[in-house]
Amino acid sequence: MISSPYAVFESSDMTTETPVLEHESSKEGIFPLSLDNLPPVDAADKYGKIMVFTPWTGWSLISITATEDYVRGLFSTHWTHTPPTPPTPPTSTNDTLKS
C-alpha cells in the first residue's frame, strides 16, 4: 500500500506506482505522466494548457507542448485537465446588492 503521494520518490527502486485518482466525469481525473505516457494533444483546454504535478512544487499550469520538458527537467509525475472557467460575474455590484 502506498502511504503518501510522494511514494514514488521514497521508493528505493523508483518502480512503485502512485494511485490514479479517478473522478465521475471523463474530462476529470489525475493521470500518470511519463515520457512513454504523455497526454494527448486534445487533452488541452481551449488555450492549449494542462496541469502537471511535480512533488516539490505541486500543480502547475503549462502549455501542452511543454509537457515533455516538465517530465525530463522537473520530473513531473501526473497530469490533469484544467478546471472549467468560472461564470462571468455581474458587471455592476449594484446587480448583486439589490434587496
Digit-coded pLDDT (tens) for 5-46? 444 444 444 444 544 444 434 467 999 999 999 999 999 999
- Chain-centroid distance of CA 33 in Å reads 10
Overall domain count for the chain: 1
Is residue 99, in this structure, part of any structural domain at all? no
Is residue 10, in this structure, part of any structural domain at all? no
2/57 Cα distance (integer angstroms): 20
Q: Which residues contact 62 (CB under 8 A, 6 or more apart)?
A: 49, 50, 51, 52, 70
- pTM for this structure? 0.61
Digit-coded pLDDT (tens) for 59-69? 999 999 999 99
The parent domain of residue 62 ranges over 30-84
Is residue 75, in this structure, part of any structural domain at all? yes
pLDDT at position 84 over 60: yes
Is residue 36, in this structure, part of any structural domain at all? yes
52/31 Cα distance (integer angstroms): 9
- Residue 89's H or E segment, with its range, is none
Is residue 19, in this structure, part of any structural domain at all? no
